[in-house]
Copies of this chain bind each other. A is one copy, B any other.
Amino acid sequence: MAAVIFTDYSSSTAAAAAAVARLLPSSRYRFGDGVLHSRQSLLLHFAPRNPIMLRTTATSCASASPSVVTASMVAETSAKVIDGKSIAKQIRDEITVEISRMKDTVGVVPGLAVILVGDRKDSATYVRNKKKACESVGINSYEVNLPEDSTEQEVLKHISGFNDDPTVHGILVQLPLPSHMNEQNILNSVCIEKDVDGFHPLNIGRLAMRGREPLFVSCTPKGCIELLHRYGVEIKGRRAVVIGRSNIVGTPAALLLQREDATVSVVHSRTKNPEEITRQADIIIAAVGQANMVRGNWIKPGAVVIDVGINAVEDAKSAKGYRLVGDVCYEEACKIASAITPVPGGVGPMTIAMLLSNTLSSAKRIHNFK
């Protein structure tokens, strides 16, 4: 599929959200803040000039394949909307209080360093958003901007500097890096104690192992589980299906669910009967990057659905020419599920809240502040 994959996303206009809203029951749907803090963890598929792709990804899932709209889906909308924007706001407020307490008690202010290489406009926007989010909760942010033709060694030198800098408690390297750099080398050079992204294999390994604790859990999957917790969804003993097995969302999400004693199945591109397996799940986390892929008939009545996908589909009615939809066909799913995250305004706002949370946790650990 000729989808353009973005590695992060930010939109400050309400137009795209408004376009999505036209398809949704307005009484239940709440807008996000228009800013999706997804970083590289979310695949954004957007191909406004590719009608073939748009036919497959479906601008409106029900109209694309009406045969899957079952009788039960004609019933009244019943799913509770899991309001990621509101929960993220609550978490940011909690972080603000903790940072203030830490500053007052031990005189330490958490610091997040972000390294940006090159002049991609989208990357610059994401970095700016992170900086703003840090400021809003009282985290110091440090930014290094390097030209596109910098050497890998220059980037490594800056990471090394932040590794040694006691005022920095978290280090982020904005992806993608220029193609002449080895991303794996660069990410591995971030010291494990400051890997607030949780992408280091040592953190993933500890996450997978019983009796071990990762220092950090990647922000998006952590945000998914946090939403389940805050909405009181029981995980232990439940069947969970994770759709997608990326290093930054699907795999850590599956490992997190298993740590919480769910029985987890991972569905991916090679799975022959994804809908049948997904239909067994009490909890679904969809993180595959395909607009509206999970239809109403994939969902067991009463299941809880966490939609990580953020996909742009062509929409002539929108000023931007597109609107954002998830991996789950919301208009169908909201009639079957007991609770569901909207897109935007579901998982998106949680990602940056978890980044702030990881930075605070790091500072607390380094300074042994309880």
Contact = CB atoms under 8 A, between A and B. Distances in A.
Contact of A210 (B208, B245, B255, B264): B245
A202 to B, nearest CB: 5
Interface stretch (A38-46, A74-82, A161-169, A267-275): A267-275
Contacts of A205: 200-208
A134 to B, nearest CB: 28
Interface in A178-217: 184, 200-212
A255 B208 contact: yes
Most chain B CB atoms below 10 A, which of A204, A251, A263, A267 = A263
A184 to B, nearest CB: 8
A247 interface: yes
A140 interface: no
The A interface is mostly helix, strand or loop, or mixed, namely mixed
Interface residues of A, number: 34
Contacts of A211: 184, 247
Interface in A235-274: 236-237, 239, 245-247, 251, 255, 258, 261, 263-268, 270-272
How many monomers of this chain does the complex have? 2
A277 interface: yes
A265 B159 CA distance: 38
Contacts of A272: 237, 263
Contact of A271 (B202, B208, B237, B268): B237
A260 B243 CA distance: 17
Contacts of A277: 239, 263
A98 B272 CA distance: 39
24 contacts: A184-B211, A201-B202, A201-B208, A201-B209, A203-B205, A204-B209, A205-B205, A208-B255, A209-B247, A210-B245, A210-B246, A211-B247, A237-B270, A237-B271, A237-B272, A239-B277, A245-B258, A258-B266, A258-B268, A263-B267, A263-B271, A263-B272, A264-B266, A265-B265
Interface of A: 184, 200-212, 236-237, 239, 245-247, 251, 255, 258, 261, 263-268, 270-272, 277
Given A184-B212, A201-B208, 13 more contacts: A184-B211, A200-B205, A202-B205, A204-B204, A204-B205, A205-B207, A210-B247, A210-B251, A211-B247, A236-B270, A261-B268, A263-B265, A264-B266
